[in-house]
Amino acid sequence: KILIYDFGSQYTQLIARRVRELNVYCEIFPYNHTPRIDHTEYKGVILSGSPHSTLEEEAPNFDVSDIRGKMPLLGVCYGAQLLAKQNGGKIEPSKIREYGRANLSYINHNSPLMKGIPEDSQVWMSHGDTILELPENFKVIASTSDVNVAAYRIEGEETFGLQFHPEVTHSTDGKMMLQDFIVGVCGCKQDWTPESFVDSTVRELKEKVGDDKVILGLSGGVDSSVAAVLLHKAIGENLHCIFVDNGLLRKDEFSSVLESYKGMGLNVKGVNAAEEFYKELEGVSEPEAKRKAIGKVFVDVFERESKLVENAKWLGQGTIYPDVIESVSVKGPSATIKSHHNVGGLPDYMKLQVVEPLNTLFKDEVRAVGHTLGIDDAILKRHPFPGPGLGIRILGDVTAEKVAILQEVDHIFIQGLKDHGLYNDVWQAGAIFLPVQSVGVMGDERTYENVVALRAVGSLDGMTADWIHLPYEFLAEISNNIINRVKGVNRVVYDISSKPPATIEWE
């Protein structure tokens, strides 16, 4: 496998994804918490970019003496500058801004990294400093018209530096360069596939869990579903799934998802706890207080139900790799903007060990594994849905009546997206119940009813998002259907805010 040492670049995860797209397994470590190098296990190391400058006094540094010359090493952007600087190269703030597209004007095609790269190949630059002079045995292998040292190799070593970012798709041949490094130079086999992941994970789970019982909370989402099916494949009936209806799910979701889980052979208990949630939410309108209330009841219900499973030793979770990276990242866990509630917060005294079969996978890999396991697209391609559900899409206090109205509105919108073939073009969509009433006219009657907002966003990971330019005709049809069919709603608005500065959810 390949190791990626993270210096805090926004693109580090992208490097990992590119490597894995080449069917090679890799892991990310913060530069200040790296593992002991095992030459039989690891085939090469990549140093990431960074928001820092090597010229800063406290610039992140890393001693490469254990690696350099002993195994292939590739520095990207900051990583490339760091290697040059450590060996006496001269780094300076660039005179011209070096951001965005550039084209390679010189390419040394004899270099293993540049073999098949076409003339003029487009690369993506994003750096404030530039390598002005290379140390003696460093040789330039590619340049652009503005940047002489766009790529280099240390002579006699499998050590390379790329000033641009091969991991972003704007670097047209970046993936080929990464492939040449990982397969050509490091000699990795491209045998890491969803099938091989399933085989090895099932084997490991069998070994780890043995004949113990595992409890897992299902949410209807991709991650918990794939985790459950994997565990089920490994330990069969010893996996006990719990699916809680918090009364804040989409219309008919509880029954339809429960059905499909049973169809997959999972041993799952559906627990209808809607009333308990509504009771706890009564009169609560502050967003964080609502999240806390929902989280608390969830833990209560889950705990009560888990106790019914005798001798359970493990708690299964659908944690995925980005959550893991986030919690050990160079920057530390990112500042909490909203307290996300997932199945995580169980009380310590439950004394369950945690098993997380997906904690090395990115979201798209989870989907690919789910596909290999035969899970239906209805689950795998499902939009993300927040744990607190419609509870945070009803602004102000939550009541069963408001939930019922919002479920209808949401259903018309989502079904409309599906019917018009738009569902898969949208990353996430939903409706929001606003705490306002507005005046309308229906027939000859004046109405004074609720306003709902529709939101549809495009995103890659939920960190940033933009509103989707849904066709006007579509919006017109949906608005019509909602106002005509859902009693209590007389006005529909469309949310045209991007994240940042807005967030995807309104609360």
Positions at the binding site: 219-225
Site string for ligand XMP, 289-328 (x = CB under 6 A): --x-------------------------------------
Q: Is 3 exposed, middle or buried (0-12, 13-18, 19+ CB in 10 A)?
A: buried
Q: In the bound complex, what is the minimum distance in angstroms from residue 414's beta carbon to ligand XMP?
A: 14
244 binds ligand XMP (CB under 6 A): no
Sign of the CA dihedral running 204, 206, 207, 212: positive
Q: Which is nearer to ligand XMP, 43 or 341 (CB)?
A: 341
Element (H, E) at 141: strand 138-144
Closest CA to 216 of 344, 105, 109, 323: 344
Q: In the bound complex, what is the minimum distance in angstroms from residue 4's beta carbon to ligand XMP?
A: 25
From 52, 98, 158, 167, active-site residue: 167
Q: Which is nearer to ligand XMP, 112 or 462 (CB)?
A: 462
Active site residue 77: yes
458 binds ligand XMP (CB under 6 A): no
- Per CB under 6 A, the list member of 52, 250, 341, 382 interacting with ligand XMP is 341
Q: In the bound complex, what is the minimum distance in angstroms from residue 384's beta carbon to ligand XMP?
A: 4
- Per CB under 6 A, the list member of 344, 384, 396, 440 interacting with ligand XMP is 384
Closest CA to 325 of 12, 38, 3: 12
Q: Are 393 and 433 spatial neighbours (Cβ–Cβ below 8 Å)?
A: yes
- Per CB under 6 A, the list member of 121, 306, 317, 428 interacting with ligand XMP is 428
Active site residue 167: yes
- Pairwise CA distance, residues 18 & 165, whole Å: 12
338 binds ligand XMP (CB under 6 A): yes
Q: Are 454 and 494 spatial neighbours (Cβ–Cβ below 8 Å)?
A: yes
Active site residue 26: no
In the chain, what's the furthest Cα-to-Cα distance? 87
Q: Please confirm whether the linkage preceding 500 is cis (ω < 30° from 0).
A: yes
159 binds ligand XMP (CB under 6 A): no
Residue 29 CB contacts under 8 Å (≥ 6 apart), including other chains: 3, 4, 5, 6, 35
Q: What 3-state DSSP class applies to 482?
A: helix
From 52, 127, 165, 341, active-site residue: 165
**Could you tell me the CA-to-CA distances from 248 to 244, 305, 323, 340 in Å, in that order?**
10, 19, 24, 16
- Per CB under 6 A, the list member of 342, 450, 479, 490 interacting with ligand XMP is 342
356 binds ligand XMP (CB under 6 A): no
Region 481-500 residues binding ligand XMP, contact defined as CB under 6 A: 499
Contact residues for ligand XMP, defined by CB under 6 A: 291, 338, 340-342, 384, 386-388, 428, 462, 499, 503-505
